Amino acid sequence: QAKDMGRHTYRFFKPAMNEKAVERLSIEADLRRALEREELELHYQPKIDLTTGLTCGAEALIRWNHPTRGWIPPAQFIPIAEDCRLILPIGEWVLGEACRQAQRWAEAGLWFGTMAVNVSAVQFCELNFAQRVFAILSQAGMDPKRLELELTESVLMKGTESTAPNLQTLRSEGVQMALDDFGTGYSSLSYLERFPVDCLKIDQSFIRQISAVGAKSTLVTTIINMAHTLKLRVVAEGVETKEELQFIKNRGCDEGQGYYFSRPLPSSVFTQRLLLSNSV
């Protein structure tokens, strides 16, 4: 009986695991070619200043148009890219492309505030990360003050010896540093003391279906107040409804981002949006 069960379990799990491993290897192989084949693309999601209602920034979000699988979301391939360190060339490309796009908008007289780029822990832990960023900025001709780098708490948790120097060097040149998905990691507050940043992005799970009563509302209110005490900007991620917007606005949150305002947009569509609302 036990043997039967064992065999059954074996049959049940082995093919599924193989399938997953094979799939992963195939994605890894395709990802190696994705850059040179120009299958990667950036979409841009506006960030809205909640006092003026104007677009005050954009977050660059990577998209992969796979030749046979179609669009693959970043959650499916970024972790693989991190494991095999392909995130280094990919991340480098993302930074360059986002900075070039920001500069194109600036030169067209379309003011858009800051360009935010997500940075993986693997990238940020590279010894020369800050220097790479400065090289990319100067190639694009972009003012460091208009770049914002979004790190997750995992970056600070890993905290290699280059973490604090990278952070400090970047900030000393005016690059804005934001902590992404805030509230989903561990003991966030102690990290803020060791690794100072400019901005907190409250994770969308806290914003979703928020109501005036309940634990979420207390948490969000507390995070906003705490951030302001520490002189940090606060962005609410994943704002989908008018109610969620009202809630964060009433509590003094600085910026909002989410489907309520706009989904991430291809650069051409984002340009149209800027032409309509933000031209100077």
| Closest CB to ligand C2E: residue number | 258
> Which residues 246-275 are close enough to bind Mg ion by CB under 5 A?
none
Residue appearing with tokens 């990691």: 185
CB of 189 to ligand C2E, least distance (A): 20
Measured between alpha carbons, how far is 106 from 162 in angstroms, rounded to an integer?
32
> Which residues 36-75 are close enough to bind ligand C2E by CB under 6 A?
45, 61-62, 73-75
- Judged by CB under 6 A, the number of residues near ligand C2E is 23
The Cα angle at residue 169 between residues 165 and 175, in degrees rounded to 5: 130
Beta bridge partners of 174: none
Q: Cα 142 to chain center, whole Å?
A: 20
- Judged by CB under 5 A, the number of residues near Mg ion is 5
Give the pairing of strands 55-66 and 70-72: antiparallel
Measured between alpha carbons, how far is 84 from 2 in angstroms, rounded to an integer?
39
Pick 12 or 82: Cβ nearer ligand C2E: 82
Interface with ligand C2E, residue 178, by CB under 6 A: no
Q: Tell me the one-letter amino acid at 69.
A: R
Per-residue contact flags (x/-) with ligand C2E for residues 76 to 95, judged by CB under 6 A: --x------------x--x-
From the CB of residue 223, how many other CB atoms can be counted at a distance below 10 Å?
22
What is the enclosing helix (H) or strand (E) of 156?
helix 153-158
The Cα angle at residue 181 between residues 176 and 186, in degrees rounded to 5: 105
| Chosen residue from 218, 259, 272, 279 binding ligand C2E by CB under 6 A | 259
Measured between alpha carbons, how far is 94 from 131 in angstroms, rounded to an integer?
16
Quick one: tokens of 109?
């007289």
Q: Which of ligand C2E, Mg ion, none sits in contact with 120, Cβ below 5 to 8 A by type?
A: ligand C2E
Interface with ligand C2E, residue 267, by CB under 6 A: no
| Chosen residue from 118, 257, 267, 271 binding Mg ion by CB under 5 A | 118
| Chosen residue from 97, 148, 150, 244 binding Mg ion by CB under 5 A | 150
Pick 9 or 260: Cβ nearer ligand C2E: 260
Residue appearing with tokens 């986002």: 98
Interface with Mg ion, residue 180, by CB under 5 A: yes
| Chosen residue from 55, 118, 176, 267 binding ligand C2E by CB under 6 A | 118
Pick 142 or 200: Cβ nearer Mg ion: 200
Quick one: tokens of 41?
């693309």
The helices-and-strands tally (H runs, E runs) of the chain is 12, 10
CB of 93 to ligand C2E, least distance (A): 9
Residues at the interface with Mg ion (CB under 5 A): 118, 150, 180-181, 237
Residues of this chain that bind ligand C2E (CB under 6 A): 45, 61-62, 73-75, 78, 91, 94, 118, 120, 150, 180-181, 204, 237-240, 257-259, 264
